[in-house]
Amino acid sequence: MSIAPQLRNLNIDLPACPSTLVKLSLLMADDDCTVDQLAALIETDMALSSAIVRTVNSALFGLLKRVETVHEGIRYLGMAQVAGLTYEIGLRGAFPPSPLLQSIWDRAGIRGLAMGRIARQLDVDPWLAHTAGLFAESGRAVLYAYDQTRYAALESGHDEEALLCAAEIEAFGVSHSALGAALCQSWGLSRDVADSVRARPSAPSQWPQERDTVQKLLTIGTAVDALLLNPTQAADPQGVWQSLEPLAQQVGLHFQAFQLATMRVCERLNMTREG
């Protein structure tokens, strides 16, 4: 992979992708992939397998029957959702544990889960959506790992994504969105996922420059961030939907279907988190 000069100058090392996740990405790209193949791959890594089973049995998924194997987890949740969970666990493990990173991982897990569930109801690839949500802020983790004290101070002074990216470029020579896209590429993820991470801070007026799938991922991500992860915006859902309706129309999503799917998923996940 060709890494931007800024990364080489800063000597920021992107974390290596575990071999199991490389194989997982290739497997999920195969239309003929089966439950048995996916389970067999994940079960070659005992740490991932046990983490998947623990996570699937958590209150977040609300399963009526406890699962005991990865195969059962896939049967209950579906291949894309379990694959997304595997990537989430792998991404967490690629960085040294840190309380400052915990909020990023918490948001990533919820965002990925919500985006995948919404996408499934809108005929958008749920594996792409889950992965795009998971890696949306991964570049921040890279900058935390590079200079935790300096980046924490920088991040605390900028609430808006676009302003934060501008400050990152001034301070480090590169934005977290560019780093996140580079991480996606280095891990062999879909170009649509990498481009959605790169374009995430851009204004919706710039989205038409992106491919249709990327625009849809950006729109779903914007809705999830506003209604599930931003308490200020979530307090005014009517205002959020007024801003989202033209975006949905712009990217070719049926607005009523998009609104209904998003509201159902966000309400259910909010109930689970509060419970």
Distances (CA, A) of 179 to 108, 128, 139, 163, 183: 16, 19, 5, 16, 6
pLDDT value at position 111?
96
**Average pLDDT over every residue of 210-235:** 95
> How do residues 37-61 score in pLDDT, each as one tens digit?
999 999 999 888 998 999 899 888 8
Q: Is 60 exceeded by the pLDDT of residue 274? A: yes
**Ordered DSSP codes for 73-102:** HHHHH-HHHHHHHHHHHHHHHTS---HHHH
Mean per-residue pLDDT of the chain: 90
**Average pLDDT over every residue of 157-162:** 85
Res. 68 pLDDT band, cuts 50 70 90: very high
pLDDT value at position 57?
92
Q: Is 70 exceeded by the pLDDT of residue 7? A: no
Q: Is 70 exceeded by the pLDDT of residue 157? A: yes
- In this structure, of 1-5, 67-71, 242-246, the range with the lowest mean pLDDT score is 1-5
Res. 1 pLDDT band, cuts 50 70 90: very low
**Average pLDDT over every residue of 258-275:** 87
